[in-house]
Amino acid sequence: MFRTFSDFQNKHFGKRFSGSQVFILGKKCSRCGKNPQGKSCFVLFTAVQVGDVVVMLGSSAILPCHIITNDRLSQITWQKTIKGKAPDDVFLIIQPTIGLKYRNEKDFRFEFIGNFNDKNGTLKFSNVTLKDEGSYRCIFSLFPGGTPSRNSQLVILVPPITNLMDYTPLEGNEEVPLATCTAAASKPKAEVRWIKGSLEGKVREEIKETQHANGTTTTWSTLLGKPGREMNGQSVKCVISNFCVFLEFSKQNYSLILYKYSKSIISLK
C-alpha cells in the first residue's frame, strides 16, 4: 500500500495494470488541487481497474504496443475510440521507411518511443485531458500472421478541489449549518464525511452531489446542528475519500467555539 501520492505515481502512473490489483493513494491537496485557504489536507482515491492505463489529468500516459513473432511486420496502425469521435478512428500509422505518420488531424502529443525493428509500437501520450479517455488499439500488419492487435483502456483520474466553509450561527434551538466540506470536480467521485467525536448524536450530515458532463463529480457535505454551549471547544474532522477506501486521512480539524453572548463559529483549531 502506498502512503503518499508520489510513491504511487513514481511506480505505477502511466503503466498498464494487470491482475487483481487495488491501489489506494493519498495526495496532499496543496499539490493536487486548488485550495484557496492554503490549509493542509489529504485526499484519497483509488484506481481499481484491471489492464487499464491509469494516469492523472495533465500527465503523460504510456500506451503499450509490442508483439513477439518471427512474422514480417510491414505496418503498425493505431486506432482510438473516444467520446465524440467515430469508433476505431485511425489517428496514426508507423512504417519502417517513413516512421510515424499522422492521419486526419495531427496531434503532436503522441510520441513514438518504441522500435519498429523490435515490433514495438509503444506511444507516449502527453498532457492528457478528460476528452482523451477511451480505448486505444494498435494493430500489427504481419505476414503471414494477419493483423493481431493490442488494446489499452486509458483512464483519467482527477483529484478534487477541496474547500471547507464555516458559518457564524447564533446560539439557539434551531438546526443550522455549521460547516460545509466540498470535494469539487473529482474523478472518481469522492466520499465526504465527518468524524464528529464527542458531538456524535448532536449533529448530522447532509450530502449533495452533482455529476458534470465531463465525467467529474462535485460532492458537498454540510454539518448541521443546534448551536449550544456544550459544543464549545469540541473538535470535528472532515474526511475526503473515494468509494471503497478504508484508510482515513484527516482533511481539516476544526473546533466549535461558542461565544458568551449568543454567537458561535467553526474555526481552525
Alpha-carbon distance of 188 to 196, in angstroms, equals 25
Alpha-carbon distance of 190 to 195, in angstroms, equals 16
State yes or no: pLDDT of 166 exceeds 90. no
**Arithmetic mean of pLDDT, 251-257:** 45
The answer to whether the beta carbons of residues 17 and 49 sit under 8 Å apart is yes
pLDDT score recorded for residue 51: 55
Task: pLDDT band for 136, please (50, 70, 90 cuts).
Answer: very high
| pLDDT tens per residue, range 94-104 | 999 989 999 98
| pLDDT tens per residue, range 46-95 | 333 345 899 989 999 999 999 999 999 999 999 999 998 888 999 999 99
Task: pLDDT band for 193, please (50, 70, 90 cuts).
Answer: confident
Give the C-alpha distances (Å, rounded to integers) separating 71 from 66, 79, 144, 250: 13, 22, 6, 56
More confidently predicted of 266 and 139: 139
Residue among 23, 118, 14 nearest 66 (CA): 118
Q: What torsion do the CA atoms of 5, 193, 161, 109 make, to the nearest 10 degrees?
A: 50
Alpha-carbon distance of 154 to 56, in angstroms, equals 11
In single-letter form, the type of residue at position 33 comes to: G
Task: pLDDT band for 198, please (50, 70, 90 cuts).
Answer: confident
Can you read off the three cell numbers belonging to residue 236? 470535528
Enumerate the domain spans of the chain. 5-53+158-268, 59-155
Asked whether the domain spanning 59-155 has the same topology as the one spanning 5-53+158-268, the reply is yes
pLDDT score recorded for residue 179: 87
Partners of residue 154 on adjacent β-strands: 53, 134
User: Which CATH architecture does the domain made up of 5-53+158-268 adopt?
Assistant: Sandwich (2.60)
Can you read off the three cell numbers belonging to residue 256? 466549535
Please state the pTM of the whole predicted model. Answer: 0.72
State yes or no: pLDDT of 190 exceeds 70. yes
59-155 in CATH: which number?
2.60.40.10
Q: Residue 148: how many CB atoms within 10 A of its CB?
A: 13
